[in-house]
Amino acid sequence: MPTARLIGESDHVDRQQWDERYSGTEFEWTTRPNQFVAAELADLPSGRALDLAAGEGRNTVWLAERGWRVTAVDFSRVGLEKGRKLSAARGVDEAQVKWIVADLRDYEPERDFYDLALIAYLQVSPEVRATVLARAAAALVPGGTLFVVGHDLTNLTEGTGGPQDPDVLYTPEAVRAELPGLRVVRAERVHRTVERDGDPAIAIDTLVRAVRRA
Ligand SMILES: C[S@@+](CC[C@H](N)C(=O)[O-])C[C@H]1O[C@@H](n2cnc3c(N)ncnc32)[C@H](O)[C@@H]1O
């Protein structure tokens, strides 16, 4: 199934709905990492990574295969269980990934601990997003990288797919403003080619890469 076709199409979905969505045997999207995650993070030296809203673990497993020790957090137990199985099937050492079922509205990652914090397609209210971004930033060691990718607001008018509620969509400007204390390396809109009704279409994402100042 194409990565972007169904991501976030229902708005304000809760934990139970995500569990249901992940309950099939197939992967909801793909077992490959998000293309921007793969392109941007492939060259980072491995260390400790935090994957917030890890879903079925496609990015977690990719990182673990590259030697990262990953803490993967999501409120969908079903999603994370699939991630754990994917990880085992790929031969990742069990000790390399910690799978944590938690609501990101409450979850506080260890501070000053991670070399990388990843947030991919967590489409939540601006308040929750700001909280999660602040906690992710605080979880980084000095010099650590924060990488955020999510459906962009302009997708509503110029792109395809993703949630249709403007409240849960990203802009590079909003994410940048929510990261005081970090040096923003990239904050821009990027395009993904997805399949729509059998034809290629463009999905627009916000991509932000930032580094915690020393
Ligand atoms: C579109 S999926 C993205 C999954 C993964 N990051 C990826 O790129 O494949 C969004 C994920 O956010 C999770 N999520 C949404 N709200 C959450 C919350 N409040 N706490 C924890 N996880 C949440 C969902 O369970 C879902 O797995």
| 28 Cα nearest atom in ligand 1 | 9
* pLDDT computed for residue 1 by the predictor: 33
Mutate to test the pocket of ligand 1, among 9, 18, 107, 151 (most ligand atoms within 8 A of CB): 18
Burial (CB count within 10 angstroms: exposed 0-12, middle 13-18, buried 19+), residue 43:
exposed
* pLDDT computed for residue 26 by the predictor: 80
- Helix or strand run (H / E) with residue 188: strand 182-196
> Which amino acid is it at 148?
V
Q: Is the CB of 53 inside a 6 Å radius of any atom of ligand 1?
A: yes
Query: What does the angle CA 178 – CA 12 – CA 37 come to, to the nearest 5 degrees?
Result: 55
CA 54 to centroid of ligand 1, rounded, Å: 6
* pLDDT computed for residue 13 by the predictor: 59
> Which amino acid is it at 47?
G
User: Cβ contacts of residue 154 below 8 Å, gap of 6+?
Assistant: 171, 189, 204
pTM: 0.93
> Which amino acid is it at 65?
E
* pLDDT computed for residue 169 by the predictor: 98
CA 212 to centroid of ligand 1, rounded, Å: 24
Rg (CA), the chain: 16
CA 130 to centroid of ligand 1, rounded, Å: 15
Q: Which residues of 97-132 are buried (b: 16+ CB within 10 A; e: fewer)?
A: bebbbeebeebebeeeebbbbbbbbbbbeeeebbbb
CA 139 to centroid of ligand 1, rounded, Å: 19
Ordered per-residue pLDDT tens for the chain, 214 residues: 333 333 344 434 589 999 999 998 887 778 999 999 999 999 999 999 999 999 999 999 999 999 999 999 999 999 999 999 999 999 999 999 999 999 999 999 999 999 999 999 999 999 999 999 999 999 999 999 999 999 999 999 999 999 999 999 999 999 999 998 999 999 999 999 999 999 999 999 999 999 999 8
* pLDDT computed for residue 128 by the predictor: 96
Mutate to test the pocket of ligand 1, among 1, 60, 74 (most ligand atoms within 8 A of CB): 74
Q: How far apart are CA 69 and CA 7, in angstroms?
A: 26
Q: Is the CB of 204 inside a 6 Å radius of any atom of ligand 1?
A: no
Query: What does the angle CA 122 – CA 127 – CA 128 come to, to the nearest 5 degrees?
Result: 40
CB 52 within 8 A of CB 104: yes
